[in-house]
Structure 1
Amino acid sequence: MNATKILQQGRQPMIRFLGKRSTPSKVDHTPQVHPASPSQSLPESFASYRQKAQQHGPLNQKSQFSTSHIGASPGSSLGPVEAGKGTFFDRSELPQRFQRMAWTQAEIEAIESGGASLHA
């Protein structure tokens, strides 16, 4: 029972901190533009930002249906959804050379046997 007390008495932390803890005397909390921001300017207000924001389409879009919650308007009201030129929604729409190849019977047997059928 007392073995734990003995072990804890000689314990030394493996991390050694250099110097005394100190917090900066002044921290600047003013909003700043992110260095990678394309506009290099902050929005005037959140409301003006939201007018221009995009998330799966414009956020300020008004429709004939109630937009008080997600799913209030049908998807058909958003208009047609078509892939742009050079863009595909499914792999089966790609040219033949990029489509999935059919499995051969030898490959299926190799997978089902865990590779043992290749050496038998």
Structure 2
Amino acid sequence: MRASVALYNAARTPLIRFVGKRSVPKSVDHSPRVHPASPVSALPDSFAAYRAKAQQHGPLGRAQFSGHVGAQPGSALGPVTPKTGEFFDRTELPARFGRLPWTQAEIDAVETGGASMYA
């Protein structure tokens, strides 16, 4: 007799037991609401109204483009300068946040895959 077939055909009882009948709540509100952490307290009127004000790597409004991507130079979108306290590159940070120089022991450890640490 094949044990796997016998086990497969045996009555299976789940390990989890649920108490009571399954019931779907009748008073679930699925109407759209503003997320509690949202910076605005009202939903947009339509997707088109949202898209006209949205920003993602630059303006999303169609008035900015004349038919195809790249019709205007990037400088036409306005100045790109970081705000106070923001930096675009790590090299612009104060010296205390700069990269530390590698030691010769660290270079050897990387080049040998860590074997030089135990030799």
Shorter-normalised TM-score: what interval? 0.7 to 0.9
Q: Matched residues, percent identical?
A: 63
Aligned to 1:55: 56
Q: TM-score, normalised by structure 2?
A: 0.72
Aligned to 1:6: 6
C-alpha deviation, 1:41, in angstroms = 1.9
In structure 2, the gaps of 5 or more residues are: none
Q: Deviations over 1:32-71 (max 9, x none)?
A: 22222232222223333233222223322633x52x4544
CA RMSD after TM alignment? 2.7
Provide runs of 4+ in structure 1 moved above 3 Å.
Answer: 68-74
Q: TM-score, normalised by structure 1?
A: 0.72
Q: Deviations over 1:60-116 (max 9, x none)?
A: 2633x52x4544443233233222232221112222222112212222112323444
Aligned to 2:22: 21
In structure 1, the gaps of 5 or more residues are: none
C-alpha deviation, 1:119, in angstroms = 4.1
Aligned to 1:94: 93
For 1:20, the aligned partner's letter is K
User: 2:102 & 2:15 partners in 1: Cα distance?
Assistant: 55
